Amino acid sequence: GKAATFPRGTVYFNPSEFFKNKSVISNWKLRAAYGEAGVQPGIYDRQVTFGRGSFGESGSFLVTRTTANNPDLRIQTTTELEVGTDLNLTPSKGNWFSDLVLNATYWKRSSKDALQNAPVAPSTGGGATIDNLVALKGDGLDLSLDMTTYKSENFNWNLGVRWAKTKTSVTE
């Protein structure tokens, strides 16, 4: 296979560091990330492979082609951009509703040269091949709320809610 490099990085800013009074907002972070990832074709995906097949009712066997070669396979590459915020609130100093954590993340992802199984005409000897058939793009929004509903020395009651929306489409 070919060697490849996939960069990845994250930056964040913490506005709550500049608050003099952190009585309600205990922590607030804004973040952004960019990254690339790759999927290398399998070790035998570029070569013809053979397997054992049966021949009639006699129990005889023959060697058949199980996969066709594809020497032009490329690495499947995915890029993603993500932005989000994490907000920790302390609305109460008492036992009830002492901590709230809100998270929101928007992400956008695209993949090119996605590796897929593709059928091969039986007249060529049968089998299948791996090919770079499609490109995909998608985006989504993830929201969560975690709350310490009640907290005492011997008992904690936590509640969490999650919501996500994802949209993916084939672009090629």
pTM, 2 dp: 0.74
Which single residue is written with the structure tokens 């594809």? 70
Whether 159 shows a pLDDT value over 90: the answer reads: yes
Cα 99 from Cα 157, distance rounded (Å):
11
Of 46, 48, 44, 52, whose CA–CA distance to 72 is shortest? 46
Mean pLDDT of the chain: 85
Cα 161 from Cα 155, distance rounded (Å):
20
Give the pLDDT confidence of 36-94 residue by residue, as tens digits.
999 888 776 767 777 766 666 766 666 666 666 777 888 899 999 999 999 998 887 78
Of 99, 85, 86, 90, whose CA–CA distance to 146 is shortest? 99
Give the pLDDT confidence of 122-140 residue by residue, as tens digits.
777 666 778 888 899 999 9
